[in-house]
């Protein structure tokens, strides 16, 4: 049953002009937040968020509106009136490529089937385990969130889709201190609704505590140029923040320099690099079989053997502007926001090097694992690994702290000279932000990679 009642008549009664496009998206979301801090559970909050949005695009202008109260018909009329008042003609949408919605989650451990009491008992046990993992642990913070959304999309072109979107994240941070310095280790897990990823985390929690304690005693890294081996989770975020964001097609509008830099056929980086963005797999956070415009998801090769293959990830508006086909990348954080071209599941293809090969080829460098944060301004990137160890003459050594990796986005692709053979396919709690829409669920899959001459500074 469509949440709008399956009423396409909302478009007939809105006064749309010939050639106008209109859509209504309705969402009902159940959210569970649980927090442990200060030695005990701090809060358990179950909430609901319901609303809808409408968008009208036509020769007279375009407008997006949202509401928690107005009917679909009222919203379409308001969007139509606003579009006429704004009076900025919109470009033509690319023809639709309708998809078929799917909300499959592998296995039986679907998040909404697990009782809240069971979740609280499991997570509370993890929090206690973190506090008791080592005598020098000074505290811990656990934050869990799940959101289950039922979404209904109807358009003036006759499309009607309903699907369920799930997302869950766990971030557990363990703190230690020594000589006035506070350090942290963390466990970061996520999925597209598969609760089983949160079971059996005891070894990871113990390792996070040991990292926190070890970092408290570790020396601060010396700034300079390093060869760096990034593990799969960090390499995946690097791909997302660099080539992923560069290929979001709205960035290309009016930017001739970026269009030249990502010209299909241009050799951008190492021939070892093949990177795709795709709809992902069921159960993953970046699983997008159909986007928020109803377009079917399909894999897009961004780099193939270091050469730009397809330079743009599209929604229907940017596809129309560049006379391309939409790619299934129109994504919205929720009914309060219009869809934008966004990365889904970005993946670096596996290479043929073992981790020992990658480390063994380094005289002075770093082994960087996990990620605490990362960002790019499309010219440069900055990443904070969760853990770093020195590499000297092909041997992994002591922990160092304060590591911030940075460099030029386009330069970094040429810095890659080794790609591991094992592709990591997990999910973390990290989300993507763009134009106020944060955190959007994404997946980043990658093997370990080696980059030469990366700038390291102390953070």
- Give me the pLDDT at residue 17, please: 85
Is the pLDDT at 322 greater than 50, yes or no?
Answer: yes
Residue 2 lies in a domain: no
Residue 1 lies in a domain: no
- Residue at a domain's end among 217, 248, 281: 217
Residue located via tokens 């709008």? 4
pTM: 0.94
Rounded to whole angstroms, how far apart are CA atoms 229 and 395?
A: 12
Which is nearest to 84 in space by CA: 48, 59, 110?
A: 59
Query: 418-451 pLDDT, tens per residue?
Result: 999 999 999 999 999 999 999 999 999 999 999 9
Mean pLDDT, residues 139-147: 98
The three-point CA angle 378-167-50 to 5° equals: 100
Residues 49 and 160 in one domain: yes
Query: 188-237 pLDDT, tens per residue?
Result: 999 999 999 999 999 999 999 999 999 999 999 999 999 999 999 999 99
Q: 309 burial class (0-12, 13-18, 19+ CB within 10 angstroms)?
A: middle
What count of Cα atoms within 13 Å lies in the side-chain half-sphere of residue 449? 28
- Give me the pLDDT at residue 172, please: 98
Query: 269-320 pLDDT, tens per residue?
Result: 999 999 999 999 999 999 999 999 999 999 999 999 999 999 899 999 999 9
Q: Give the helix, strand, coil percentages of the chain, each rounded to 5.
A: 20, 40, 35
| Token code pair at residue 323 | 């006379």
Number of domains present in the structure of the chain = 2
Q: What is the dihedral of CA 272, 278, 281, 283, to 10 degrees?
A: 110
Residues 193 and 244 in one domain: no
Cβ partners under 8 Å of residue 54, min gap 6: 22, 23, 24, 25, 64, 65, 66, 72, 75, 76, 78, 79
User: Using N-to-C axis directions, what is the helix angle for 202-217 and 116-131, rounded to 10°?
Assistant: 30
| Token code pair at residue 57 | 């695009």
Residue 96 lies in a domain: yes
Residues 149 and 296 in one domain: no
Rounded to whole angstroms, how far apart are CA atoms 51 and 4?
A: 11
CB atoms within 10 A of CB 186: 23
Residues 49 and 174 in one domain: yes
Say if strands 40-58 and 61-67 run parallel, antiparallel, or are unpaired: antiparallel
Phi/psi of residue 46, nearest 5 degrees: -110, 120
Are the C-beta atoms of 112 and 148 separated by less than 8 Å?
Answer: yes
Residue 3 lies in a domain: no
Residue 4 lies in a domain: no
Residues 256 and 201 in one domain: no
Average pLDDT value for the chain: 93
Cβ partners under 8 Å of residue 347, min gap 6: 236, 239, 275, 276, 277, 278, 423, 444, 445, 446
Mean pLDDT, residues 135-144: 96
| Token code pair at residue 380 | 């440069």
Say if strands 345-348 and 443-445 run parallel, antiparallel, or are unpaired: parallel
- Residue at a domain's end among 182, 217, 252: 217
Query: 91-116 pLDDT, tens per residue?
Result: 788 888 888 877 677 777 999 999 99
Q: How confident is the model at residue 244 (pLDDT cuts 50, 70, 90)?
A: very high
Residue 157 lies in a domain: yes
SS3 216: helix
Residues 255 and 191 in one domain: no
Residues 300 and 183 in one domain: no
DSSP class of residue 223?
Answer: P
Residue 427 lies in a domain: yes
Residues 194 and 128 in one domain: yes
Range of the domain at 437: 224-458
Residues 330 and 198 in one domain: no
CB atoms within 10 A of CB 429: 21
Cβ partners under 8 Å of residue 276, min gap 6: 299, 300, 301, 302, 346, 347, 349
- Residue at a domain's end among 186, 217, 248: 217
SS3 358: helix
Are the C-beta atoms of 374 and 242 separated by less than 8 Å?
Answer: no
Residues 301 and 367 in one domain: yes
- Give me the pLDDT at residue 160, please: 94
Residue 302 lies in a domain: yes
**What DSSP line would sit under 172-205, residue for residue?**
EEEEEEETTEEEEEEEEEEESSBGGGGSS-HHHH
Residues 151 and 285 in one domain: no
Residues 178 and 247 in one domain: no
Q: How confident is the model at residue 117 (pLDDT cuts 50, 70, 90)?
A: very high
CATH number at residue 192: 3.30.2290.10
**Sign of the torsion formed by the C-alpha atoms of 241, 244, 249 and 252:** positive
């Amino acid at each position: 049953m469509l949440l709008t009642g399956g009423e396409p008549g909302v478009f007939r009664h809105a006064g749309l002009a010939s050639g106008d496009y209109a859509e209504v998206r309705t969402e009902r979301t159940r959210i569970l937040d649980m927090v442990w801090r200060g030695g005990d559970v701090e809060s358990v909050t179950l909430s609901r968020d319901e609303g809808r949005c409408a968008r009208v695009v036509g020769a007279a202008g375009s407008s997006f509106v949202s509401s928690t109260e107005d009917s679909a018909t009222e919203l379409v009329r308001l969007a139509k009136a606003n579009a006429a008042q704004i009076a900025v003609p919109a470009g033509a949408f690319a023809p639709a490529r309708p998809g078929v919605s799917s909300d499959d989650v592998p296995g039986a451990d679907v998040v909404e089937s697990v009782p809240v009491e069971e979740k609280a008992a499991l997570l509370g046990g993890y929090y206690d385990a973190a506090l008791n993992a080592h005598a020098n642990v000074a505290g811990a913070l656990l934050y869990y969130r799940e959101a289950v959304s039922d979404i209904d999309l109807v358009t003036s072109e006759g499309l009607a889709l309903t699907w369920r979107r799930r997302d869950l994240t766990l971030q557990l941070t363990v703190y230690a201190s020594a000589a006035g310095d506070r350090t942290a280790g963390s466990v970061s897990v996520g999925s597209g609704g598969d609760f089983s990823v949160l079971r059996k985390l005891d070894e990871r929690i113990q390792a996070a505590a040991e990292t926190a304690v070890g970092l408290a005693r570790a020396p601060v890294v010396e700034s300079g140029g390093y060869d760096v081996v990034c593990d799969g989770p960090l390499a995946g975020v690097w791909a997302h923040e660099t080539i992923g964001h560069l290929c979001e097609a709205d960035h290309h509008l009016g930017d001739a320099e970026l269009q030249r830099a990502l010209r299909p056929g241009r050799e951008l980086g190492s021939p070892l690099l093949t990177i795709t963005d795709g709809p992902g797999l069921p159960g993953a956070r970046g699983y997008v079989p159909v986007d928020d415009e109803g377009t079917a998801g399909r894999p897009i090769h961004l780099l193939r053997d270091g050469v730009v293959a397809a330079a743009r990830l599209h929604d229907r508006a940017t596809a129309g502007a560049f006379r391309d086909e939409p790619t299934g990348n129109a994504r919205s954080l929720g009914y309060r926001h219009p869809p934008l071209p966004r990365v889904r599941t970005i993946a670096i293809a596996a290479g043929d090097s073992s981790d020992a090969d990658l480390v063994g080829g380094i005289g002075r460098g770093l082994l960087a694992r996990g990620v605490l944060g990362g960002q790019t301004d499309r010219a440069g990137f900055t990443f904070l690994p969760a853990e770093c160890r020195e590499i000297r003459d092909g041997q992994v050594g002591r922990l160092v702290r304060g590591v911030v990796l940075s460099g030029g986005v386009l330069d970094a692709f040429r810095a890659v000279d080794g790609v591991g053979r094992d592709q990591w396919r997990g999910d973390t709690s990290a989300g993507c932000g763009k134009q106020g829409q944060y955190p959007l669920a994404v997946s980043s899959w990658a093997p370990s990679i080696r980059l030469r001459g990366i700038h390291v500074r102390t953070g």
